Structure 1
Amino acid sequence: MYRWCTDEVEPHDRFDFWREVRAKGLFGVTAELERERRADFFGEFSMRQLGNGTLVELKASSYAVERSQADIGRAPGDSICVYQQLGGGGWFGGMRSSDFAIANGSFATSHTDLPYRTKPLGTGGFHLRILKIPVSGLAPQDKRMRELAPKMFNDSGLAPLLDACFADLGEVAVSDGSSEAAPLVQALGHLALIERGLVRPGSRRGQGALRTARLSLARRLIARHLQDPDLAPTQVADLLGVSVRHLHMLFEAADRSFSQTVTEERLKQSRRLMREAPERLIADIASACGFESLATYYRVFNAAYGMAPGDFRARASEAR
């Protein structure tokens, strides 16, 4: 993963460096900011190749961005971009379709080689993720992909799926789990094409994207409700909007059943709590992680790790 921050540059040079080297040279856009505001400019980003896509997370002070025909001619991308707004809001304009504002937590898509202008709403600046996927890495090869001007997602049913996939992709980027990235990148790309009407949800590619995204969301729903000792497939299936049978099929395809996933997540959380709160009672940790009894927790923990929770805690303390 490549990371960069304007702290590496002298304050009086920060915006000029960002504009010429980062914005124009790396992202192929033109950046503008009033001269009197440049002394306080701050920007940082991370960039990582994942599967056949590139994931960028960017934070920066407020400034104006344009992707002009000259920028496109100088640095063509021929990729589909999926944007996730992480803070504040943003405005897109200067294109064939209508201008629009994108709120915190919302998503948008575009083809890289169509002109646009964008800037943050308010004074909070930019905070967003961008997944860039080459058109050549997506199917079908449809010439309409190159006509996708920036547009916000309007299908509210897809938003939780996109959010789960982006969250998983961010964790993969941090943990260097590159082998897990490819299906997430493809799922996000095809979900974008579903929303734009270029892939049918019932097609093989559409169904594959929805399966990957639903599994990501199901795992996050499990993590959100671990403390409930009665957590059951019916509860997660209802939250996910699918049948219990479909939910079980999602996990079977991932080589780990629903119940195995719940147990594994509870054990992982209990280990984290023992490391982070060494003074906390083990019985309290077991309850907080949704184990129905302390005896069950000891039995499951020993079966998974070959030691009692107390022994794990002692080793973790010695390693500090």
Structure 2
Amino acid sequence: MYRWCTDEVEPHDRFDFWREVRAKGLFGVTVELERERRADFFGEFSLCQLGGAGLVELKASHYTVERSMTDIADAPGDSLCVYQQLGSGAWFGGMRGSDFTIANGSFATSHTDQPYRAAPLGAGGFHLRILKIPVSGLSTQDKRMRELAPRTFVDPSLAPLLDACFADLGTVAAGDDGAADAVAHLALIERGILRPGSRLGQAALRTARLSLARRLIARHLQNPDMAPAMVADLLGVSVRHLHMLFETAAKSFSQTVTDERLNRSRRLMREAPDRLIADIATACGFDSLATYYRVFNTAYGMAPGDFRAQGPEGR
């Protein structure tokens, strides 16, 4: 993981450095800002390599961005980009088709070598994640990928799946590009280039649904009545399909739920050393204190109170 922010540069040089070294050199774009506003400019980004793909999270104060034909000629990228808007929203324009805005939490896709202009909608500036996947590294090859002008996702059924996959990207090991491939293929499904029923489409949907299922488990962990039927219904699949998703994972549905509850209980004991263990058990979805003690002892060979007594040094 590589991180950088403008605090590493003298204040009077920050925007110029961002414009010439970071924006043009790293992202291949032209950025502009009124001279009187440059003294207050701030920008930061992180870059994580995921196999051949790169995940960037960028925050910056207000400025305008352009990826012109000159920029493309100077720094061709030949990659599929998937954007997740995290800030107050942004405007895109200057490409084929209509201009559009992208709201907080929404997604957009494009090929890197299509021109566009962009600006944040709010005074807070930019905040977004960008996953850039080289076209040459994708399992599917289609010339239409290089013609993808920026566009927001219009299929509402894919947005939560993509959101779950994006949330997982920051936790995967460097060199593991499986999650990045899933995001790329979901984007190609949304743009009509990849069929959902194809081998690659089905694999991407399985990966995304498993990711979302895990997040639904974490979201409803406190509910002692959480069962496969409940999660399957939230996911929009059958119970049989849900269990099939977990057959490809290291742990079954029930093992995943138990591990999540135990891990959360351990975290709560560290964060709130004076909180009653019975309250922690309830907060983690165990149906009784006796069940919590039994499951905890089976997993760790000790009672929750003994674990807590070890203190931070013994954990």
Give the equivalent residue in structure 2 for 1:108.
108
**Structure 1 residues not aligned, in runs of 5+:** none
Whole-Å Cα distance in 2 between the matches of residues 192 and 307 of structure 1? Answer: 47
**Deviation of the 1:52 alpha carbon:** 2.3
**Deviation of the 1:97 alpha carbon:** 2.0
Q: Find the residue that maps to 2:27 and give its secondary structure.
A: coil
Give the equivalent residue in structure 2 for 1:270.
265
1:184 to 2:202 alignment? no
1:299 to 2:303 alignment? no
Give the conservation status (yes or no) of the 8 Å contact 2:85–2:106. Answer: yes
Q: Find the residue that maps to 2:292 and give its secondary structure.
A: helix
**Deviation of the 1:299 alpha carbon:** 1.0
Superposed, 1:6-25 pairs within 5 Å as 6-25=6-25
Give the equivalent residue in structure 2 for 1:86.
86
1:210 to 2:194 alignment? no
1:221 to 2:216 alignment? yes
Whole-Å Cα distance in 2 between the matches of residues 205 and 149 of structure 1? Answer: 23
Superposed, 1:1-320 pairs within 5 Å as 1-172=1-172, 177-178=173-174, 181-318=176-313
Q: Find the residue that maps to 2:311 and give its secondary structure.
A: helix
Length-normalised TM-score, structure 2 = 0.98
**Deviation of the 1:308 alpha carbon:** 1.2
**Structure 2 residues not aligned, in runs of 5+:** none
Write out per-residue CA displacement over residues 111-143 of structure 1, whole angstroms, 9 at most, x where no aligned residue.
Answer: 001111001002110000000000011132111
Give the conservation status (yes or no) of the 8 Å contact 1:52–1:185. Answer: no
Whole-Å Cα distance in 1 between the matches of residues 98 and 169 of structure 2? Answer: 30
Whole-Å Cα distance in 2 between the matches of residues 312 and 75 of structure 1? Answer: 55
Whole-Å Cα distance in 1 between the matches of residues 32 and 309 of structure 2? Answer: 56
Write out per-residue CA displacement over residues 69-122 of structure 1, whole angstroms, 9 at most, x where no aligned residue.
Answer: 111111110000000001100011001121100000000000001111001002
Whole-Å Cα distance in 1 between the matches of residues 255 and 231 of structure 2? Answer: 14
Q: Find the residue that maps to 2:108 and give its secondary structure.
A: strand
**Deviation of the 1:171 alpha carbon:** 2.8
**Deviation of the 1:239 alpha carbon:** 0.4
Give the conservation status (yes or no) of the 8 Å contact 1:188–1:209. Answer: yes
Aligned-residue identity in percent? 80
Whole-Å Cα distance in 2 between the matches of residues 109 and 244 of structure 1? Answer: 32
Give the conservation status (yes or no) of the 8 Å contact 2:48–2:174. Answer: no
Q: Which moved more, 1:134-143 or 1:85-94?
A: 134-143
**Deviation of the 1:318 alpha carbon:** 4.5
